Amino acid sequence: MRMSFEECLATFHKFESELTFEDIPEHTCGQIQLIGKDRGSFYFIIENGKMTVYSGEYKTRQILYIFTPTMLERILNGVIDPVYAYTTGKFQMLGDLALGRTVLTKFVKAKN
């Protein structure tokens, strides 16, 4: 089953209360851009070890992830390894790649 944009956004809103980010630099901003049929964007800001998610785009982000909703769902559910998916072009990650990998790993661990 393919996640809709609203389901993807709801998943990340759930992460707001489930995850802590003490090991992530202050004021880290990332954006998730979903492409394809059910497209949309939302972004997150990490401050004081907590993440807040907003609809829309954030221009001065450190990380930009570009997924199809299906690929995001497969990565979050542990069906496909995020490093493998990135290196084989299943999704794009632009900006600070080390930081992007660290944050994405937290999302994957929280979902599983």
Q: DSSP labels for the chain?
A: -PPPHHHHHHHHHHHHHH---TTSPTTEEEEEEE-STT-EEEEEEEETTEEEEEES--TT-SEEEEE-HHHHHHHHTTSS-HHHHHHTTSSEEEE-HHHHHHHHHHHHHHH-
Residue 112 lies in a domain: no
pLDDT of residue 112: 67
Q: Residue 78's domain spans which residues? A: 5-107
Residue 103 lies in a domain: yes
Count of the separate structural domains present in the chain: 1
What is the model's pTM? 0.92
pLDDT tier at 110 (50, 70, 90 boundaries)?
Answer: confident
Residue 102 lies in a domain: yes
Residue 59 lies in a domain: yes
Tens of pLDDT, residue by residue over 51-83, are 999 999 998 999 999 999 999 999 999 999 999
Residue 69 lies in a domain: yes
Q: What is the CATH number of the domain that holds 11?
A: 3.30.1050.10
